[in-house]
Structure 1
Amino acid sequence: MTMRPNLGQRRVASLGSEPVQMERGLEAPAQRLSSDAVERLVRRLAEFLGERPGVAPVEYTRALVLSVTLVSAAAVAIAVATVHQPADSAGLAVLAVAILAMSVSSVTTLAGGNAVRFSATAFLHLGLVLIYGPIGALVGSAAESTGAAVRFRGGWFRFLFNLANNFLSDVAAWMVFTRLQRLPVHGVVADGAFGMAAGLAQLTVNWTLLSGILAIATHRSFVSHLRAGLNITAYNLVYGYAAVGFLGLHQRYGPWGTTFALAPVAGLQVFLVFLAQRTRTHEEHRNLLLEKVTEQAATIERSYDATLIALTHALDARDKETEGHSRRVVEYTRLVAIELGIAGEELKLLCHGALLHDIGKIGVPDAILHKPGKLTEEEWQIMRRHVEMGARMVEDVDYLAEARRIILHHHERWDGRGYPLGLKSTQIALGARAFAVADAVDAMTQDRPYRRSVSFDEAREELARYRGTQFDPDAVDAFMALPQERLLSIAALRASAGLDMFSGRNFEPGSRITPRVAIVA
């Protein structure tokens, strides 16, 4: 296997703007030669190796172009000085074709958070260079870079850098191996160690050059890119050790001896491609199932919300005098809660509690619930039981556990003189503290049979008077910060609660609701 870093697939694939300079550089020779045939050939090659739409083009800064030019020039100089005609062209061709095929069918994976091409070609690269020297490095690098260009269409610029980088790293591996073989140490263990050193040299040169180019192209630290190469060091040590087997088989059986080692490597590559395809199929199936589960969860959640709204409609049907109270108090509660920093799912659960806060009144006799005058002490005792009755009604519904706290705490007071538990200060749920302010505001600003409504200015004065005794000071301050026009629009609502109250956008951090119902004067 190999995890051979490549400019066409690493993060440099997400660089800058269109490669205008490189295209001009390709067209200029054809214009000078004044040959239609050459011009057509160059144009077709440019189209074939041009950057595909899915690959972000490179921004050709002066530093980047100069750096790639220097790397390419170094590769050319070393190739001119070291490459010679191979004595065994057949074996060279077999391995080159194998590298090309495996490069075209490579699999992309992650190493250290970076996209890296994963294939079995590193065995072959090192085997090729240990057998044939620099000519093997050149042919193998050309096959690898061409395969990457065909697979990823990264463009000429990436192709040229990848070719130079692969060649230099393979030559470095060959140089290390041949120098170590001159030592007065022989045997299987020594050859294996020399092969591992060659694999390490290949990785070091390859990743150093690539990290330098990436640092220039992405304006990120060279060290941060180089550090990612540490994740695949062990792979290259194994590759180098295994590559010695190619050399031994070639020395014993000649040109076709490498096919003995090539067969399992090719089999491994086929397995990798098959595994990638199966993984992709499973991933697509998983995503499809996830979408269905998400849709079903949303449907269930809407059903929950509709059930809660139906319960409040049942309560509203008994008390026409408080028509629209459930919707208004939810809207006030939501705005106050947002000012207190409550958001997301927690905010939605709080609104469920606000919606159901008086659900226990279903168990209060009509004679008491609709009495126009002042309640007697005995009647007040019965009325106050609605808190505990409401909490009992939802106690077996896990989904409403947080709503139950609001129902149970919404008549508690900051100073501990509320009911039914006599909680005080932060013993009271934060949502219930926000709700208490909202409920009081709606009670004060709506007409009742026994009194007239007051203005929001008067309601604010009342809240300020009881700030720190009946109400949480922070909740009062949160209400004071709300804009007047927002409050007036909510106060005018007469419609019953609806599913639109629980739409997802109403529970984003910092959201502000505009009631989506007709306002009836």
Structure 2
Amino acid sequence: MAFIAAVAVAGAAIAAGAAVEWQSEDLLVLAVLAGFAVFTVRFDVSLFYQSRVSVTVVPILVAATIAGLPGVLVIALTAELAAYLGSGKPIYKSIFNAGALLVSGAAYLLVLQSFPFGSEGYVWPGLLYAAIAGTLTNFLVNSVLVSFVIALTSEHTVVAVWKKNYSSLPQHYLVLGVLVAAMATSYQSSGLATMAVIFAPVIVIRFGMQLQQAHKELLIAHREVTGAKKGLELAYDGTVRSLMTALDNRDNETGGHSERVADLSMSIAEELGIESGTPTWDEIRRGALLHDVGKISVPDSILLKEGSLSDDEWELMRRHPQVGFEIISGVEVLSNVAKIVLSHHEKFDGTGYPVGSAGDEIPLGARIFSVADAFDAMISDRPYRKATTIAEALKEISRCRGTQFDPQIVDAFLRVRERMSSVNSPRLAGSGHSLQPSQAV
């Protein structure tokens, strides 16, 4: 409130000085400009933090050019009174706004009077340069005052408030400065009628300001929504990874089977030209992470059995893709991921389960995943058998090219393996026991 009071006192001092300079011969033009000001108040542009900007500055500065401080006083107070009536805003806000208009109007006059005009007064083109400089100064003073009072009542700095609200507006005020000079010159040379005609572009500029502000707000909103979306995706992925880690631990997987398969699947996908961050890439990654979620339905007595599974136990184990599909398909945004989960044990020749899909009937993500999953399964220890070596696993993957696996996917996988310079996990050395990829569940 102290800052508001200081601005109000400064405005009152300027008003007192204006009263001393009052000349009655300017009454008619001030009345016309006051009418313009009341009209333009209805067309101000909303900014952030409930602040606003208006082309009312044009009649204020034209009045300043023609009538000096008295012109600023009459038009500024008329405009603020018109804005206050019926607005319901607190009176102290209008007092501050009036003070800011008077202070910034006086700043315009100081700049205008600093130019070396001769005895003929404000003439073109000198008035053009002076009006542009004065209008930009008026804008800077007024916007800084408003930004300062907003910053005092928010958690933002003056600079942050100014940049967010006003940084896109100087070019508009430059054009307004041209119109101020044109209107003042036309009045001095041809009277009120010509000045009124020039006022029309002011309204056009106002709509340009509104469109630019709307565009700026949309960009900011887009950035905020994008940031929120990324935050949700990170939270979602973290939840998925925690769930799959719990399932891997239950299944006695070491080192994170789902994570390894997901990483290898993404390497294969990128080798096939699927770009990171695209919807297809995300679906494959999530499908790889969630592929075994259906094992929730498999009892520990079967999942952790050290010996061979009976036919009935195998039948129950083979239901986990369908169960996983039923769990995930209830989430609309995961509908394509659910199809990958359902099909991750399908074979390229149609002999897989649970549907028996073949070739391109199998989702691309599932075809990629099946190679990555089979490879990781073969080189990993399971309760019912030991791991095979990497060399034997690669040989088996190649042997099943065109039968169990999509040939294109196998070729991409082998290229990925060739580029791997080292093996990160000591488990990958294996123990030499063989295992066909079709045995991986």
Report the TM-score when normalising by structure 1.
Answer: 0.46
Cα distance in 1 between the residues matched to 2:263 and 2:251: 20
Residues 1:336 and 2:336 aligned together: no
Deviation at 1:415, TM superposition (A): 0.4
| d(CA) in 1 for partners of 2:295, 2:180 | 80
| Deviation readout 1:296-340 (Å, 9 max, x if unpaired) | 222211221122123213312322245511111111111111111
Q: Which amino acid aligns with 2:299?
A: P
Paired position in structure 2 for 1:457: 391
Q: Does 1:420 align with 2:354?
A: yes
Match of 2:301 in 1: 367
Equivalent-residue separation in structure 2 for 1:446 and 1:487 (angstroms): 20
User: Quick check: 2:265–2:285 contact (8 Å CA) kept in 1?
Assistant: yes
* 8 A contact 1:333–1:435 mirrored in 2: yes
- 2:149 matched residue in structure 1: none
- Within a 5 Å distance, the mapping from 1:121-520 to structure 2 comes to 256-257=189-190, 260-265=193-198, 267-343=199-275, 344-345=277-278, 346-484=280-418, 486=420, 488-489=422-423, 491-492=425-426
Cα distance between partner residues in 1 of 2:419 and 2:297: 37
Shift of 1:294: 2.3
Rounded Cα–Cα distance in structure 1 between residues aligned with 2:217 and 2:179:
34
| Cα distance, 1:406 vs structure 2 | 1.1
Equivalent pair of 1:328/1:491 in contact (CA under 8 Å):
no
What does 1:96-111 align with in structure 2 at a 5 Å threshold?
96=125, 100=129
Partner AA of 2:376 in structure 1 = D
- CA displacement 1:152-196 (0-9 Å, x = unmatched): xxxxxxxxxxxxxxxxxxxxxxxxxxxxxxxxxxxxxxxxxxxxx
Separation in 2, partners of 1:318, 1:121: 74
8 Å Cα contact 1:412/1:422 also seen in 2: yes
Deviation at 1:488, TM superposition (A): 4.7
**2:350 is aligned with what amino acid?**
G
Q: Relative CO higher for 1 or 2, CA cutoff 8 Å, sep ≥ 6?
A: 1
Deviations 1:40-96 (A, max 9, x none): xxxxxxxxxxxxxxxxxxxxxxxxxxxxxxxxxxxxxxxxxxxxxxxxx989x7564
By how many angstroms is 1:472 displaced?
Answer: 0.3
Structure 1 residue identity aligned to 2:399: R
CA distance in 2, matches of 1:353, 1:490: 23
Instruction: Report if aligned partners of 1:415, 1:425 keep a CA contact under 8 Å in 2.
Output: yes
Checking the alignment, whether the CA contact within 8 Å between 2:252 and 2:304 is kept in structure 1 is: no
Q: Which runs of 4+ in 1 moved over 6 A?
A: 101-106, 115-118, 120-125
Q: Which shifted more, 95-104 or 335-344?
A: 95-104
State the partner residue of 2:64.
Answer: none
Measure, in 2, the Cα distance between the counterparts of 1:434 and 1:288. Answer: 38
CA distance 1:322–1:123, change in 2 (3 Å): closer
Gaps in structure 2 of 5+ consecutive residues? 1-118, 137-170, 429-441
Shift of the alpha carbon at 1:290? 3.0
**Alpha-carbon contact 1:324-1:493 (below 8 Å) kept:** no
Deviation at 1:268, TM superposition (A): 3.5
Relative distance call for 1:291 and 1:124 in structure 2 (3 A) is: closer
Offset of 1:411 from its aligned partner? 0.5
SS of structure 1 residue aligned to 2:318: helix
